[in-house]
Chains A and B, each alone.
Chain A
């Protein structure tokens, strides 16, 4: 009986993770500029993967599997925010965004102040 409910929970978690990635695909297609698309595209990278990893853990029900699943999540949480930050930074610097969509542009004030300073690219 407990097996039935654990498998049911695993199935629901699998479909939830897949639905998140569909949301990312639709957002990539329909959102207007790279900064907004970044918001949609990064959702399944952490939360969708977390849901699928929980589904694997519930379906296999072994502690040894958790020892390999946990580093997958840790590596993803370490590296994906860096990649998303680099894409957002590059799209701001190259002007690949719509200024009318921004409510507050706090970076522009600092950029104006340091405009004459050297751009050290780090």
Chain B
């Protein structure tokens, strides 16, 4: 890496660390499961950005396949948890629907 990039790289790394800490605080405090999964989505995004910053700093391209796989699959967990939260509330608060036998939720 060229010398001009050093201060920018340090600043970007510090900012990314701050945002990861803020997202983890929201993940711990979040009142609902949706707040927590949203914060974990932000942590994954910060991870992606950190891989990019590391590639620019170190002038390598080793983590590029990891970025590709993470960008393609990161949202599956968010979609799964959002559907779970939505379905559980529908089962709890819909007296008009016929009663179902209670299911075992893992």
Contact = CB atoms under 8 A, between A and B. Distances in A.
Interface of A: 3-4, 7-8, 10-12, 14-15, 17-19, 21-22, 24-26, 28-29, 34, 37-38, 41, 44-45, 48-49, 52-53, 55-56, 59-60, 65, 68-69, 71-73, 75-76, 79-80, 82-83, 86-87, 89-91, 93-96, 115-116, 118-119, 121
Contact of A90 (B25, B39, B85): B85
Contacts of A34: 32, 34-35, 38
Contact of B42 (A14, A41, A94): A41
Given A29-B26, A79-B71, A41 B41 contact: yes
18 contacts: A3-B2, A17-B52, A18-B13, A18-B49, A18-B53, A19-B15, A21-B49, A25-B26, A44-B42, A45-B42, A53-B52, A59-B5, A60-B61, A79-B74, A83-B41, A89-B86, A94-B34, A121-B86
Contacts of B68: 68, 71-72, 75
B38 A87 contact: yes
Interface in B36-55: 37-39, 41-42, 45-46, 48-49, 52-53, 55
Contacts of B1: 59
B41 A45 contact: yes
Contacts of A4: 2, 4
B106 interface: no
Interface of A is mostly: helix
Nearest to B48: A49
Interface in B1-21: 1-2, 4-5, 7-9, 11-13, 15-16, 18-21
